[in-house]
Amino acid sequence: MDNVKKALITGIAGQDGSYLTELLLSKGYEVYGIIRWDSIFTTQRIDHLYQDPHIKGTRLFLKHGDLTDSASIIKLITEIKPDEIYHLGAQSHVRVSFEMPEYTVNTNALGTLRILEAIRISKLPIKFYMAASSEMFGGINSPQNENTPFCPKSPYACSKVFGYDITKLYREAYGIFAANGIFYNHESPRRGDTFVTKKITRGIARIKAGLDKKLYLGNLDAKRDWGFAPEYIEAMYSILQQPKPDDFVIATGESCSVKGFLEKAFDYAGLGDYQQYVEIDPYYYRPSEVNVLIGDSSKAKEKLGWKSKINFNELAKIMIDADFRKYGLTPPGEGDGILKEKFPNRWWKVD
């Protein structure tokens, strides 16, 4: 078993962590994931992968830890001695970061530093992936690429700029294989319920099922470059398999407004005009907004051979089919067809 690669994932129970776990297990890795202590299980997204560690041959192990607790991070890294660390754990909600700026910065910025310090002190040849974000650009100068200056517009974005910079610094100062993925919004049926695409597709399914009458949203004019999460996970893996550590923008190159996503989603679900169901609640506005994000992934195309296959229209269909199933409704089915056609060798479980 000595040749088996070990990966440690922070944020394993999140959207991306769950897909990455599936990808790495399919590639023969032993996967260790950090979960936060809670009085209830919050591992629903990886429950289908989890096995009792007493069973021989188990390759997924969950360990308690927290990005705000240096000792737990140092202990896990020195004990596990991973070949690769995928650092996905974060307080990842932009609006929440205005409500909890200190916690967000502690977790996202200092959490990243804590891991890098643990790697440096361990002297192990660990490869490190940092989940940086298009939010760092603040929507200036579209489309953005790896050379676009940052203009963070939220505590979340500021914390990610620190994470990005400190990752680069540890690469340059200490020769650590440390790479940044500057990812644009990527969504899936496993997306957290409070992010706008999932809030819309879940809201539509609940309206269809007769559970809700209205869906309350904030700024409908903001534009995002929305892609499909499993594709982005393949890029993440590929970034750590490069001969040299580097930073990459990962995006579809297409942008759509929240309004545009609403129109497509309501139409596909057979509910017609979204305006009959959607009400604006200023509670969901942000103190400062990123108006437009569009990414230029030319470097990823050239060096990683990566290009997205799913656009926002197809994404809405995939997510609605999944949410219809979740609420006991018969899905329209086009989303399932798109998955079969575009991903014949899927490595993830369809929700």
One character per residue 79-98, x = contact with ligand GDD (rule: CB under 6 A): -------------x-x----
Q: Is 234 a catalytic residue?
A: no
Tell me the two tokens of residue 169.
């610094």
Residues forming a β-bridge with 64: 35
Nearer to ligand NAP, 207 or 231 (CB): 231
Task: Give which of ligand GDD, ligand NAP, none residue 10 binds (C-beta under 5 to 8 Å, depending on kind).
Answer: ligand NAP
Q: Quote the least distance from Cβ 210 to ligand NAP, whole Å.
A: 29
Smallest separation, CB 59 to ligand GDD (Å): 28
Least gap, CB of 5 to ligand NAP (angstroms)? 21
Nearer to ligand NAP, 183 or 324 (CB): 183
Is 156 labeled as catalytic in the residue annotation? yes
Q: What is the dihedral of CA 196, 197, 201, 202, to 10 degrees?
A: -50
Cα 90 from Cα 308, distance rounded (Å): 24
DSSP 331: P
User: Cα–Cα distance between 299 and 148 in angstroms, integer?
Assistant: 13
CA angle 98, 103, 108 (to 5 degrees): 95
Tokens of 316: 């809405």
Residue 204 and residue 209: Cα distance in Å, rounded? 9
Instruction: Give ∠ CA 345-46-235 in degrees, rounded to 5.
Output: 45
Q: How far is the CB of 191 from ligand GDD (least distance, A)?
A: 8
Based on CB atoms, which residue is closest to ligand NAP, 219 or 334? Answer: 219
133 noted as active-site residue: yes
Q: Which helix (H) or strand (E) holds 175?
A: none
Chosen from ligand NAP, ligand GDD, none, partner binding at 219 (C-beta under 5 to 8 Å by type): ligand GDD
Is there binding between residue 161 and ligand NAP (CB under 6 A)?
no
Cis peptide leading into residue 143 (ω within 30°): yes
**Residue from 77, 293, 322, 339 that binds ligand GDD (CB under 6 A)?**
293
Catalytic hit among 133, 154, 188, 308? 133
> Of 72, 134, 159, 308, which lies in the binding site for ligand GDD, with binding defined by CB under 6 A?
134
At a CB cut-off of 8 Å and minimum separation 6, what does 145 contact?
249, 295, 296, 298, 299
Half-sphere exposure of 185 (CA within 13 A, CB side): 28
- Residue 150 in the binding site for ligand NAP (CB under 6 A): no
Nearest to 120 by CA among 179, 177, 176, 180: 176
CA distance 235 to 181: 8
Active-site annotation holder among 19, 29, 32, 156: 156
What are 181's two structure tokens? Answer: 């993925």
Q: Which residue is nearest to ligand GDD (CB)?
A: 222
Min dist. Cβ of residue 266 to ligand GDD (A): 15
DSSP run (H or E) holding 279: strand 278-280
Residues binding ligand NAP (CB under 6 A): 10-11, 13-17, 34, 36, 42, 66-68, 88-92, 107, 131, 133, 183, 185-186, 192
- Enzyme catalytic residues: 133, 135, 156
Residues binding ligand GDD (CB under 6 A): 92, 94, 133-135, 184-185, 194-196, 199, 217-219, 222, 224, 258, 284, 286, 289, 293
